[in-house]
Structure 1
Amino acid sequence: MKKVFLAFLFAVVGLLASRTAEASHFRFGTINWKVPDPQNAPLTVQFTVQHGWNSAAPDSTDLNFGDGFNNGPFQGPLIGTGTDAAGLGYNLYEYTVTHTYAAPGTYTAFFQSCCRIAGLVNGDQADFRVEAIVDLSAGNTGGPVSLAPAIIQMQLGGIRTYQLPSFDPDLDLVSCRFATPAETGLPPGSEIPAVPNGGAQPTLSGACLITWDLTFAVVNQKYVLHIVMESSHNGGPVSTTAVDLLVEITNAAPPICTGSGTFIAPVGMPFSTAVLGTDPALGGLTVTTQAAPAGSMLVPPSGTNGPSPLAATFSWTPAAGDVGTTIVLVNYKTAQNISGACFLTIQVPQCVGFGDACVAAGAQGECVNGAIVCSGPGMSTCAPGNPTPETCDTLDNDCDGTVDNNTVEAGLPCPSGLPGVCSAGTTACMGGSVSCVANVMPGQQMEACNDLDDDCDGNVDNGFQVGQMCSVGVGQCASSGLFVCNGMGGQACTAIPGEPLPETCDALDNDCDGVVDNDPAGVGIVCATGLDGVCATGMTACSAAGMIECSPDVQPGANMETCNLQDDDCDGTTDEDFPTLGMPCTVGVGACEAMGTFICDPLGGGAICSAMPGMPAAMETCGDDIDADCDGSNSNGCDSDGDGLLDDVEIAIGTDPNDGDSDDDGVIDGKEGCSVPNDCPNPAPDGDADNDGKINALDPDSDNDGLKDGTELGFDCSNMDTDGGAGNCTPDGDSGNTTTDPLDPDTDNGGVNDGDEDTDKDGVVDAGERDPNVATDDVPPECTQDSDCGGPNSGKVCNASNECQDGCRGTGGNSCPEAQECSSTDNTIGTCSTPDTTYYGEGSGLCAVQQPGNDNSSTGAAWLLGLVALARVVSRRRKAA
């Protein structure tokens, strides 16, 4: 019996010792797991456990496999040390253990105990628990893989973020969440920490991004974060891993490390990647690694100090035993023990082609876009893509075989942008894009009186008078109110009419019949008011004081005084506003003028002259200085100079009524402003064709084209009113055969003014001139003189068509090139040729002479002697004949 008791006592002591071993100063923990050989040993799982403790009291963990077996307390090798910003040191340990389960299924592996470190804002000296769910379904080779530093440091004073790595070796989708109290060992309500001042809590995205507003945090505060990574293989049970770590609040910003990423490193293939650490404060840095695999190397070596920025290169050649996912942490630490890290997620595949794109057989929608995963050593399969929430993009994102069904964007309240009740809408997926569809379409409802814009035209209760004044009843029964909606879609007035009373003489409608003071006794009798003028008579009526009085039919001042022999404004004076009454007056002009006096117009309105004007004569006699037709002019109808313009018109426009050709250009004033010499129904002598400030009848060149108006219309200067000495008239050279428009400087619209085409301004189309009525010849001529075609000895001349041609002139133009002669001896065009200097004789002999030269040498004399000899020969031949 004593032996049994002692054995029991030793067992209890051992258990307590084990609990005590796990109960000191826990800071960090994580469990990763994988199936190394899914084909040959699908139930054998390799666990990798990392755990961290205060360096003054390091301890061990006891991994429970979830099937009734456990590994026993174990610490493992030291893989790293560190010191937080508060100066507390810590150690990190890692061990790997393999366990074979009896059957497929889902198991929860974990280690747990007490206690966490002291001083935590949440979980001060609380229990800890870290677990991983192991799913041994077919094809699942491992759970999510993650790693974190034992402590994450975030700067206070704003919104901070931190990205944790997560990866699934089967390329299954990994999502992150905060753990429950049961998963962490923390007291309920403390599993997600809150900043004491303000209560700000961190948020965690599905992609493991931590975001936390630390505006009101305090330096050196420490919090527990417990994050669970989940994945599901082919829709099967969930696999998990967890990271339990600390967050420390610092005053300075942590170093920044660039170079994090996910990499594939095949077995036996050298792998390297570079990272760079930068201290925002530009201080010195120390670079270290955590969880670096055996055989890997960091250059410069882990523990190296250097100035910021500090670059490092991690290199490793994986061996066959390294297959799986390894996450290496490269940490940069300042002299103040503030750290920032890069995460190198390295996948060492068991097979060729891991991660390559493939088409997954049997998958639907976007899940057909798969990737190669390893199903065992040297074996691979195409894993379907992971379904994602359905979005409006014409794709089957959730892989249920239907495109754009139940999209996350659809069915949500949205503003349609329309007014009134149509403003509320619901999102809908249409053609791959999200639209906001109004719940009520414009015009779908009739406007009702209900404080809403029912027909969506931008106006509330339009068609109703809501808010406007209204009244009911008449007379003393009238009551005012406002229009309001009546609750049934219509409107009503809030007023309530009063009760009618007997009518009294008080200027009120007491009986509410719509008539004021009707039917009181003594009212409505004709009476005398005692006022002047038309205000003298009236009717008895009720006064404002309730008395019967004589009310004038016309109130004083109600009428304006009119000329009618009455006192209209009742001021005691008749027609005082018309002082001309009785005064002499005249009507009519000229021979029609008559005398009379001012009287009141019997038709009303004012004073008029009593005289009647005489009858105007049918015809005016020119020159008698009498306005017989009574139009105010003694000379209308007279054309003194016979130019077709009446004297009155000429005086008005400024021409001389006694000079038929005021500007002496050969065109009489009555034809000025005409475009043709005859048949001009609408002359414009007072127009200004060239806008030079002078009217056409006073402008010898109305269109300013260089040709006189008379020349353009084909007139000579023989009109007796045309003063040739004025120099404004040039007789037309072809007696009107060629005319142009004196109002248009370019009659043929060819681009050249008429005066430039008729270069001698004589109205004739001379040789070498262009026709002002033909537009096609307005092209500038090739030449106008020989010099336009070449030099004096060019053999080129300008012909009558203003074109250059081969030729010469004897005088007055270009001649021939040297050694050639011109056939012309005057200014007509000739041809150039080379002279023949050899002559042949007949009869008694041959005499050849040379043409005299131009050098004044003796050859000239010899040439002359030759001619004499030739003459004698010819003379002899004639005699012989």
Structure 2
Amino acid sequence: MNTIKIIIFLCGVILSLNVAEATHFRYGLLTWKTISNTSTVQFSLKCAFRNSYFSTVNGVNLKVGDTFSYGEVTIVDSNLFSFLETMPTNFLVNNIDLVQDIVYAENVFTMKWPNSIWSNYIVYYEDGDRLAELNNNANNPWHIETSVPMLSANWTKGLHSSPVSSMMPMIDVYMGRTNTFKIPVIDSENSAFTYALSTLIESHPPGFSINASGVCTYTPTQTGLWSTQIKIGKTNPINTFIHLDFLIRVSQPPAPTATPPFLVAPTPLQGQTITVEEGSTLNVVIRGQTIMPATSVNIMIGEVPLGMNVSSQTNTPQTVSGSTGTVTLSWKPTSSKVGVYVINIGLTDSKGLTMTEGVHYFYINVTSSTCNPGPCVCPVAPGQLCDDGNSCTIDTCKGPYPITLDKCTHTQITCAAQSAADPCFSWRCMNGTCARDISSPKTCPSKSCQTSMCDSNQGGCIYQSLCQSTPCMNSVCGPNNQTCINSPVNCNGNDQCLLYSCDAALGCVSKPKSCVPASPQTMHSLHL
């Protein structure tokens, strides 16, 4: 890739240029999207300039892949009304239309804002000068801006983007007719959009208007070039806007017998969305036709995504029934290109006729890989989109990709298997690991006149009777099943020659009685 740095210092340099040198800005748009997490915002500044300006003023013949710097981007904290940062641009050329003398370039830059400095930001690109030959706003500076509402209540609920739009740098309309054309716009959140004439420019073409559906209406009363700018907004899920700046060229209508060129199959239909998965190759054929005799057609492609190749046009021979021209767009988007894009097509023929209503557009939606066979990487690392900050949940996500917050899932770690296997304690997650919860032991079933304890190592509940009999004492459970009734063991026997007693260790025992013989006197007395 050739890198050509062209630094234009407007304070003094532009004022010294002649009119032809200063008339180069054609079109501008600044959009943004969050990537990987809600603290990282990627901006895309897309502009179109007069291609010969760079060779005339700077002696440089730009090619696709070259880079140049023109002006600065400024970031403002709209809450504090303070300038946050100003940075030089670094445009990368992605398409050149030599016939229309237009170079298309994009400046992509990324900002990372920690949560501690989140605010509502205005980001703008302002420079000069506009075309000297404009019927309005001639030689004025241009100013395009967008808003990044990081303090929105829904900001942390998913990845977001501004509206995404695009136009041909110059829209052709005819005098004395009511001309209509639609502003193409899309985003990845299926938002509803609002449209209004921008207040960032001094004036619009007289009578030019736009309705709530984004359809522009213009019945010009003067030929020539006009500048205009459209403010495109959305309010859900976040409130943000962009400004689309382009030119309108008014010319006399063609003769009634003249047929303007038109697009034919396999050109995508107006407003069609083509979906392609990252890593896949996309080939889109654009074909224009004219039926005017001995006439050729010229296909104009507006801005294209970085890395998309626009082929050289091939033409069929001119005949009495006209001819066709074909251009192929080829692209293999990487993961960094996941998002939505607008492709604009214009047509002119070799006799100066332009396509009716001057603009045709379609959308490209680049999706993340569906990971078949996989694997996909789900953004669950600390601080990423699907990380809920809870160590006791399993963070995952579900397709289809790209992943948004509503596709994140958080499954609680219940430790159910460990709890079922432990007869004495429930288990719960602590710091991401299952552990025995000794504060909530399981309860053993109650049994009459018995105490219980639970020992996981001995299989669970162990019971011990409250009524503990001894060799000399009987202990039985009372009728209330809670207290013991104690009674001595009855060791009495029927043998009068034995003495009965209870031994604490042996229980009931007996021994022979000891009989003492009577004295002679007593015996004599007994015999008298």
TM-score, normalisation: structure 1 = 0.34
Which residues of 2 match residues 830-869 of structure 1 at below 5 A? none
**Alpha-carbon contact 1:176-1:208 (below 8 Å) kept:** yes
2:54 aligned with 1:49: no
2:82 aligned with 1:66: no
Task: Report deviation, 1:247.
Answer: 0.4
Matches of 1:147 and 1:97, distance apart in 2: 19
Greater strand share, structure number:
2
SS in 2 for 1:121: coil
- Percent of aligned pairs with the same residue? 17
Which residues of 2 match residues 12-31 of structure 1 at below 5 A? 16=11, 24-25=22-23, 26-31=25-30
**1:338/1:37 CA distance change after superposition, 3 Å:** farther
Matches of 2:102 and 2:306, distance apart in 1: 22
Which residues of 2 match residues 390-789 of structure 1 at below 5 A? none
In the TM superposition, what whole-angstrom CA distance separates every residue of 1:117-136 from its partner, at most 9, and x where no partner exists? Answer: 11211111122111111223
Task: Report what 2:31 is aligned to.
Answer: 32
SS in 2 for 1:321: helix
Q: Which amino acid aligns with 1:242?
A: H
**Alpha-carbon contact 1:350-1:379 (below 8 Å) kept:** no
Matches of 2:218 and 2:175, distance apart in 1: 10
Task: Report what 1:323 is aligned to.
Answer: 338
**Alpha-carbon contact 1:62-1:74 (below 8 Å) kept:** no
Q: Which amino acid aligns with 2:145?
A: E
- 145-154 vs 273-282, which moves further: 273-282
SS in 1 for 2:168: coil
Matches of 2:168 and 2:98, distance apart in 1: 10
Task: Report deviation, 1:15.
Answer: 7.2
Matches of 2:102 and 2:283, distance apart in 1: 29
Matches of 1:63 and 1:171, distance apart in 2: 28
Matches of 1:373 and 1:179, distance apart in 2: 40
Matches of 1:173 and 1:275, distance apart in 2: 29
**1:345/1:377 CA distance change after superposition, 3 Å:** closer
Task: Report what 2:236 is aligned to.
Answer: 233
**Alpha-carbon contact 2:313-2:325 (below 8 Å) kept:** no
Matches of 2:45 and 2:172, distance apart in 1: 23
**Alpha-carbon contact 2:44-2:109 (below 8 Å) kept:** yes
Task: Report deviation, 1:79.
Answer: 2.4
Matches of 2:85 and 2:368, distance apart in 1: 29
**1:161/1:65 CA distance change after superposition, 3 Å:** same
Task: Report what 1:529 is aligned to.
Answer: none
How many matched pairs?
326
**1:172/1:21 CA distance change after superposition, 3 Å:** farther
Q: Which runs of 5+ in 2 are unaligned?
A: 1-7, 55-68, 78-83, 255-259, 317-321, 372-396, 409-528
Q: Which amino acid aligns with 1:65?
A: I
**Alpha-carbon contact 1:373-1:380 (below 8 Å) kept:** no
Task: Report what 2:135 is aligned to.
Answer: 121
Q: Which amino acid aligns with 2:211?
A: S
Task: Report what 1:81 is aligned to.
Answer: 97
In the TM superposition, what whole-angstrom CA distance separates every residue of 1:104-125 from its partner, at most 9, and x where no partner exists? Answer: 3321111112321112111111
Task: Report what 2:106 is aligned to.
Answer: 94
SS in 2 for 1:69: strand
**Alpha-carbon contact 1:287-1:305 (below 8 Å) kept:** no
Match of 2:215 among 191, 206, 209: 209
Task: Report deviation, 1:348.
Answer: 1.2
2:263 aligned with 1:249: no
Matches of 1:61 and 1:224, distance apart in 2: 20
Task: Report what 1:154 is aligned to.
Answer: 173
Greater relative contact order structure (CA < 8 Å, 6+ sep): 2
**1:178/1:278 CA distance change after superposition, 3 Å:** farther
In the TM superposition, what whole-angstrom CA distance separates every residue of 1:471-524 from its partner, at most 9, and x where no partner exists? Answer: xxxxxxxxxxxxxxxxxxxxxxxxxxxxxxxxxxxxxxxxxxxxxxxxxxxxxx
2:144 aligned with 1:134: no
2:258 aligned with 1:263: no
Q: Which amino acid aligns with 1:27?
A: R
Task: Report deviation, 1:274.
Answer: 4.5
Task: Report what 1:277 is aligned to.
Answer: 288
Task: Report what 1:107 is aligned to.
Answer: 121
Task: Report deviation, 1:333.
Answer: 3.0
Matches of 1:15 and 1:217, distance apart in 2: 32
SS in 1 for 2:246: strand
In the TM superposition, what whole-angstrom CA distance separates every residue of 1:378-423 from its partner, at most 9, and x where no partner exists? Answer: 456279xxxxxxxxxxxxxxxxxxxxxxxxxxxxxxxxxxxxxxxx
TM-score, normalisation: structure 2 = 0.54
**Alpha-carbon contact 1:121-1:222 (below 8 Å) kept:** yes
Match of 1:286 among 298, 303, 328: 298
**If you compute each CA radius of gyration, which structure gives the higher value, 1 or 2?**
1
In the TM superposition, what whole-angstrom CA distance separates every residue of 1:813-855 from its partner, at most 9, and x where no partner exists? Answer: xxxxxxxxxxxxxxxxxxxxxxxxxxxxxxxxxxxxxxxxxxx
Q: Which amino acid aligns with 1:161?
A: T
In the TM superposition, what whole-angstrom CA distance separates every residue of 1:345-403 from its partner, at most 9, and x where no partner exists? Answer: 111124759xxxxxxxxxxxxxxxxxx999985456279xxxxxxxxxxxxxxxxxxxx
**Alpha-carbon contact 2:370-2:400 (below 8 Å) kept:** no
Task: Report deviation, 1:149.
Answer: 1.1
Matches of 1:375 and 1:106, distance apart in 2: 31
**Alpha-carbon contact 1:318-1:348 (below 8 Å) kept:** yes
**Alpha-carbon contact 1:286-1:304 (below 8 Å) kept:** no
Task: Report what 1:405 is aligned to.
Answer: none
Task: Report what 1:163 is aligned to.
Answer: 182
Matches of 1:69 and 1:82, distance apart in 2: 36
**1:304/1:20 CA distance change after superposition, 3 Å:** farther
CA RMSD of aligned residues (A): 3.5
SS in 2 for 1:48: strand
SS in 2 for 1:95: strand
**1:337/1:62 CA distance change after superposition, 3 Å:** farther
**1:311/1:92 CA distance change after superposition, 3 Å:** closer
**1:148/1:129 CA distance change after superposition, 3 Å:** same
**1:48/1:73 CA distance change after superposition, 3 Å:** closer
Matches of 2:166 and 2:10, distance apart in 1: 31
**1:375/1:243 CA distance change after superposition, 3 Å:** farther
2:191 aligned with 1:172: yes
**1:244/1:168 CA distance change after superposition, 3 Å:** same
**1:294/1:16 CA distance change after superposition, 3 Å:** closer
SS in 1 for 2:121: strand
Q: Which amino acid aligns with 1:24?
A: A
In the TM superposition, what whole-angstrom CA distance separates every residue of 1:310-349 from its partner, at most 9, and x where no partner exists? Answer: 4555453432121011222333332256554432311112
SS in 1 for 2:194: strand
SS in 2 for 1:57: helix
Matches of 2:353 and 2:279, distance apart in 1: 36
In the TM superposition, what whole-angstrom CA distance separates every residue of 1:790-822 from its partner, at most 9, and x where no partner exists? Answer: xxxxxxxxxxxxxxxxxxxxxxxxxxxxxxxxx
Task: Report what 2:164 is aligned to.
Answer: 145
Matches of 1:164 and 1:350, distance apart in 2: 27
SS in 1 for 2:186: coil
**1:122/1:14 CA distance change after superposition, 3 Å:** closer
Q: Which amino acid aligns with 2:97?
A: T
Q: Which amino acid aligns with 1:99?
A: M
Matches of 1:53 and 1:17, distance apart in 2: 20
**1:317/1:51 CA distance change after superposition, 3 Å:** closer
Matches of 2:263 and 2:212, distance apart in 1: 23
Q: Which amino acid aligns with 1:213?
A: T
Q: Which amino acid aligns with 1:381?
A: D
Task: Report what 1:346 is aligned to.
Answer: 364
Task: Report what 1:600 is aligned to.
Answer: none
**1:317/1:57 CA distance change after superposition, 3 Å:** closer
